[in-house]
Structure formats: structure tokens, C-alpha cells
Chain A
């Protein structure tokens, strides 16, 4: 299942804000997104910014069981978790991803701290009919980025800043352009601190195929109407 481009993705941590309302949150996001990222709640969301961290801490369930609470069938769904929690349990993660009709599992710490696990990760994903996807930062070594291309991933996700939701004064257009130059035609997703259509436009014009919004959504997900309006407004940046 491919992702539409230019595309808007949304991130939510599974069972946030609670198990009962999570399916309704997903309903809104699915309606206005081209793809969905569902975080596997963890006690150690180390690379996330303060807002997304809170969603992990406040999620009413932790671990893979949490992602099974929602139904995500209408748009491509990617599970997102920390490989640190599943180093010896990759097949289990892939199986759950398969059960919830996800197309991939993205591990933000895979390339940074478990580079030696990449081949195994790709093998496991493929064996469950899933596609690999990779998370990188702006200063990930160029040779590693080009090596990732050879795995024919669903996408490469570029974290624009150091942590989710924290905008730093970086020339993100230049960094997106540089990564685009390295990965050729591979689908490029960019995220972290995306919160307005102008920023969406800048990132897409610089060469990203899609953007993801997470932190900026959090104060709107309780209200379907606000949530929908916000996402429609953001989509303006895709034009």
C-alpha cells in the first residue's frame, strides 16, 4: 500500500488519552490524513519532546497490546516504537503490525543505536509482508543514508529537529534538500514541530513527499471538529 504524495500524516500514541476515546481520535485522524503513525506506548520515549512523552506516560496501556485497541484500516498505517523495547522480539512486533493491517514498523532508534540490527529488522518485516522504513536525522552519515536506500524502504523519515515538537532555528529546507539528493526517488517523510501550512509548504517544496504532524495536534484531538479543521488548514500547505 503506497502513500499519496504530497501527503499529510498524523501521529498519535496508542490509547492516548485513554482506551475508550482513542478509537474516536483515530476516526478523525484517518478522515483527514494520507497515512497514520501509531506510537507503541513505552516507559522510555527517549527521543520524543515533552508533549509526545506525556502521551506515552498517560496512555492507559503500555506495549503492543495498546495498538490493538484501535482500527486503522482506511489509510496506510505505520506502527512506531523504540527498538530498545523489542530487540529480541522483532517477529512479535511484526506479527502485531500484520494483525492491525499496518504496512510498516518504524523504529526511531534503530539507525542510531542498533545499526547492526538493520538487516535482521528488514528480514523480519519482509517475512511478515511488511515494508521496512527508516528514521534518520539531518546529520546521519551520508553513506548510511544511501545504504538504507538499497533496502527499498516504504519511506525514509527525516526528523527535522532534535526532538518531536521542539523547533530549533535550523535551515530545514537545506537539510531536506541534502537528504533528497542522497536518496533519489525514495519516498521522503519529514516531521517534528510541523504546525502550520507555511511550514508544510516549505518542507514539501524542499523535496519531502509528505509531512507528519503530532505535537501540534494534541490539544485538538478531543474535539473532532477542531481536529478536522486543523488538519484541513495544514493540508493547505500541500497545494
Chain B
């Protein structure tokens, strides 16, 4: 099997159109700002009319060098432990060098930034999976990376911070003392744990502070979802049977969407997967899918980006610290939000403790210690498998391993 030649754009197959991004009525145009901060090709991909977007050969080559296609495995050990004859498959994105799916979009985003003449890429990160992926992509492609990492994660996930620096990145805790927004946040709350929304704002401000910088986001926006569909495109080739249930966890929505949208697209076009249910799983720490409003909101706390219509808890939402820090974002990708609103994707929220118990069962039966974020999907898979009839088939995205999340396991499981 080869690395796919195309990413899949679900926007052109959605049951309803995505409402366009809009500017608020006060201040400068945020849509116009996008041109200054983001690589141009990414903006084109955000608004493309194509269903299939070609993956540049250089990107395909790097995908292959980094280990794509990733394996799709049957979770035989977990199946035996559950013992009710439900077959469970998982796509193992943790097999990539930085341990998560994030490299799938970090590589093309850095590639496009360089094509626009960037010497430095700037971004935010929650748990650090995205920051680590950007650090590696920047190292591979030969540019500098600067990462704003939510302060709570920065303090607790020291290995990821260390490895970002090994790859050559500069890493700041957010709120930081290098941007206006960061300084203001620290002044108002010295123990501020940080939020992804605030880290985005800091990354954008930092991008605008210097020459030759491009800002690249880790989730939510359409082109990020687009790049992640390399996962689902592979799954279409790898799955030996049509599943009854497709499961993934949701922070901003890129892993769930990238994994499931090629299957969902076939369902929407009437080309298969008619019986398949889709289940998006989130953390109760940021329950936008189950408790959020479908409305226009800013993707970032400071309101520097255009408003997008999505399921959201509000851009100033500050979630409680949890070990699944990657799931603490206030909103969800517009395409995923629309599919949830229209009833094509089911949702569920889990507490941290029950999720980590599921993670332990998976580790002991499959050998892989899952990332706390991915363990939300595992918890849902276990719950669903126990209810489904013998012979049912589940496939889920194991979006990352947890070998860089010892803090989660140290406090909750051991």
C-alpha cells in the first residue's frame, strides 16, 4: 500500500453548506489579516471547490519517510478481554515519530510556509503533540519553530517540551511574557493555567511582531482537517470490512475528522457505509460537542482570527486542567460541528478517571499505552462494544501513544 495521492475535502459533500467566516463589526478585518499570517496555499485549501486535493510529491515523500501509511490493526487482545464477539480495529497514528497524528498536517503546513518564503513558523500547542510535530516538521524542512504551549501542560509535560527543544524549537509557556496578550493575562491572573485559545492569540501576535514568520494552526480550520484525511484515505484501503461504528476523540476535531471523513463522505454520496454510525468523544473538561452552542465565535481567545460557525463554549472559556490537555479547546471544526448539528455524528463526553481506566485496559491487552486524549475513544469503544451484538465491527483512531504523558498515568492509574 502506498501513501495516498490526495486529501479529501468533505465540504463539497456536506448535507448543508458551511456558513462562511465573518469579521466582527469592530476593529480591523480578521479575514484580511489571514493573508499576513498564514501560508497562501493553506488559505486556498480552506476555500477550494475540489473534492480531492493533490498531495505534493515532496509532502508524500516525507509522509513515507516518517512512517505512512500507519498500520490498521485488529485489537485482538481487547476483543478477547471483552469477550462478546465484537471485532475492533484501530488505526495507530502513534506509530509516527512524534507519537501522534499531528505530523500529517505539520509537514504540509511547514512546506507551504517555506514556499511563501517563511524563515520561521509559529504556533500554539495544548498537550504538546502539535508543538512537537511542528518542531519536527520544521527541523526536517529547515526552518525555525516557535511554540506557545499552554502553561499547565508546559509545567506537566516536560518530556514534550524537552523534545521540542531537541528538534530545535523555541518553546514558551502560555500565558508568556513575550506578547502583550500573555503579559496582560498573567497580570490579571498570575496562576493562569493557560488555554489553547489564549496560546493561539499569543502565536498570532508573535507572528506579526517579526519578519519572515508564518502562523500555522493545529486544528479546527478546514485545511487542517483536509490534511488529516490522509488517515481516513488509508483506512479506506486497509479496512477488511465495513464497520458498524467509527469512533474518534475530539479536541478541535482534526483527528476525528481526518480519520472518519473519507468514510463519511462515501456515506453522504451514497457510495457505502450506509449502516455505519459515527461517534465523536470529548472530555467533560471542554464539552462543546455535548453542551456547546452552534454559533459564530472566534477560534482564539483574543479575537484575532475571523469568526467561524461552530459548536463552541465561548472563546473566553478557560477549562479546568486535565491530563487530556489536547481536548481542552473551546470549539470544534466547522465541518464536524455541522455534521453533529445535522445528526450525522453522535457525541459523548467522559470524565478523566473513567477514561484512564479504559486506557489501562487497552495497555494491558494491546501493549500500547494510549495518549490520554485517544483514551477517550477507547473508553467509548469499550462501552459500545459491550452493548453491540456479536459480529459487530468497530474501528477507531488511536490518534497518539501516551509515552510522553507519564503525568497522566502517574497521578491517576498507578
Identify the A interface with B (CB < 8 A). Answer: 46-47, 49-50, 53, 109, 111-113, 115, 136-144, 159, 161-163, 166, 168-171, 174-175, 178-179
Of B31, B40, B48, B306, the residue contacting A175 (CB under 8 A) is B48
Once the chains bind, are A141 and B29 in contact (CB under 8 Å)? no
Q: Is B266 an interface residue (CB 8 A)?
A: no
**Cβ-defined contact, A139 with B35, below 8 A:** no
In the complex, whether B12 has a CB less than 8 A from a CB of chain A is yes
Kindly identify which residue among A46, A109, A159, A169 contacts B40, using a CB–CB cutoff of 8 Å: A169
* Residues on A with beta carbons closer than 8 Å to the beta carbon of B13: 141-143
Within 8 A of A (CB), among B4-51: 9, 11-23, 25, 28-29, 31-32, 34-35, 40-41, 43-44, 47-51
Closest to A168 in B: B43
Are A174 and B32 within 8 A (Cβ)?
no
Interfacial chain B residues near A137, Cβ < 8 Å: 17, 20, 47
Q: How far is the CA of A50 from the CA of B33 in the complex (A)?
A: 13
Chain A residues with CB under 8 Å of B16's CB are 115, 141, 144
**Among A144, A159, A166, A175: residue with most chain B CB under 10 A:** A166
CB distance from B262 to the nearest CB of A (A): 16
Contact residues of B: prevailing secondary structure: loop
Query: Does A163 lie within 8 Å of B23, measured CB to CB?
Result: yes
Is the CB–CB distance between B48 and A138 below 8 Å? yes
Residues from chain B with a CB closer than 8 A to the CB of A161 are 47
Shortest B276–chain A CB gap in Å is 20
Known: A49-B31, A162-B21, A175-B49. A169 touches B44 (CB 8 A): yes
CB atoms of A142 and B23 under 8 A apart = no
Residues of chain A lying within 8 A (CB to CB) of residue B22: 46-47, 163
User: Can you list the 5 inter-chain pairs with the closest CB atoms, starting with the nearest?
Assistant: A169-B40, A178-B49, A139-B11, A175-B49, A138-B49
Q: Report Cα–Cα, A214/B40, bound state, in Å.
A: 24
Q: Give the docked Cα–Cα distance between A161 and B35 (Å).
A: 12
Contact of A169 with B17 in the complex, beta carbons under 8 Å: no
CA distance A109 to B296 in the complex (A): 14
Across the interface, do A168 and B20 meet the contact criterion of CB distance under 8 Å?
A: no
What's the Cα separation between A138 and B20 when bound, in Å?
Answer: 10
CB neighbours of B20 from chain A (8 A)? 47, 112, 137, 159, 162-163
B333 to chain A, nearest CB (A): 14
- Cα separation A62 to B63 with both chains bound (whole Å): 55
Q: Shortest beta-carbon distance, B205 to chain A, in Å?
A: 21
Given A47-B20, A162-B306, also A138-B47 (CB < 8 A): yes
Complex Cα gap A140–B28 (Å): 27
How far, in angstroms, from A161 to B43 measured CA to CA in the complex?
10
Most B C-beta atoms less than 10 A away, residue of A47, A53, A161, A170: A170
A141–B29 alpha-carbon span in the complex (Å): 26
A134 to chain B, nearest CB (A): 11
A178-B50 CB under 8 A given contacts A163-B22, A170-B44:
yes
Asked if residues A175 and B47 are in contact (CB atoms below 8 Å), the reply is yes
Residues of A within 8 A of B29 (CB): 49-50, 163, 166
List 14 interface pairs A-B (beta carbons < 8 Å), by A numbering.
Answer: A139-B9, A139-B11, A139-B47, A139-B49, A139-B222, A144-B17, A163-B29, A166-B32, A168-B35, A169-B43, A174-B48, A174-B50, A175-B47, A178-B49
CB distance from B22 to the nearest CB of A (A): 5
Residues of B within 8 A of A141 (CB): 11-17
Which residues of A have CB within 8 Å of B21?
A: 162-163
Tell me which residues across on chain A come within 8 A of B11, comparing CB atoms: 139, 141
* The one of A50, A139, A168 that contacts B23, using a Cβ cutoff of 8 Å: A50
A159 vs B44: C-alpha distance when bound (angstroms): 14
Rounded to whole angstroms, the CA-CA distance of A169 and B306 in the bound complex is: 16
User: Which of A53, A136, A179 sits near B17, CB closer than 8 Å?
Assistant: A136
Give complex CA distance A109, B15 in Å: 16
Assuming the contacts A50-B23, A178-B49, asked whether A139 and B18 have C-beta atoms less than 8 A apart, the reply is yes
With both beta carbons as reference points, the residue of chain A lying nearest to B19 in the complex is identified as: A112
Q: Compute how far the CA of A113 lies from the CA of B338 in the bound complex, rounded to whole angstroms.
A: 11
CB-CB < 8 A to B40: which residues of A?
169
In the complex, what distance in Å separates the CA atom of A166 from the CA atom of B32?
6
The minimal Cβ–Cβ distance linking B247 to chain A, given in whole angstroms, is 25
Q: Is the CB of B17 within 8 A of A170?
A: no
Residue of A nearest to B32 (CB): A166
Taking the closest CB of chain B, its distance from the CB of A83, in whole angstroms, is 13
Q: Report the nearest A residue to B50, measured CB to CB.
A: A178
Q: A139-B47, A139-B222 are in contact. List 12 more A-B contacts (CB 8 A).
A: A49-B23, A49-B29, A112-B18, A112-B19, A137-B47, A139-B17, A141-B16, A161-B47, A162-B31, A163-B23, A166-B31, A168-B34
In the complex, residue of chain B having the shortest beta-carbon distance to the beta carbon of A171: B44
CB distance from B223 to the nearest CB of A (A): 11
Contact assessment for B17 and A163 in the assembled complex, using a CB-CB cutoff below 8 Å: no
How far does the Cβ of A37 sit from chain B's closest Cβ, in whole Å? 18
Measured between beta carbons, the chain A residues less than 8 angstroms from B15 are: 141
A222 to chain B, nearest CB (A): 24
- The answer to whether A162 and B17 touch across the interface, beta carbons within 8 angstroms, is no
Given known contacts A49-B31, A163-B22, A168-B35, A142 and B47 CB-to-CB distance under 8 angstroms = no
Q: How far is the CB of B16 from chain A (nearest CB, A)?
A: 5
Interface string of B95-136 (1 = CB under 8 A from A): 000000000000000000000000000000000000000000
Shortest distance in angstroms between B118's beta carbon and chain A's nearest beta carbon?
Answer: 14
Interface residues of B in 80-106 (CB under 8 A from A): none
Q: Per-position contact with A for B213-250: 1 when CB-CB < 8 Å, else 0?
A: 00000000010000000000000000000000000000
- On whether the beta carbons of A139 and B48 are closer than 8 Å, the reply is yes
Chain B neighbourhood of A46, CB < 8 A: 22
Q: Which residues of B contact A112 (CB under 8 A)?
A: 17-20
- Which chain B residues lie closer than 8 Å to A175 at the CB level? 47-49
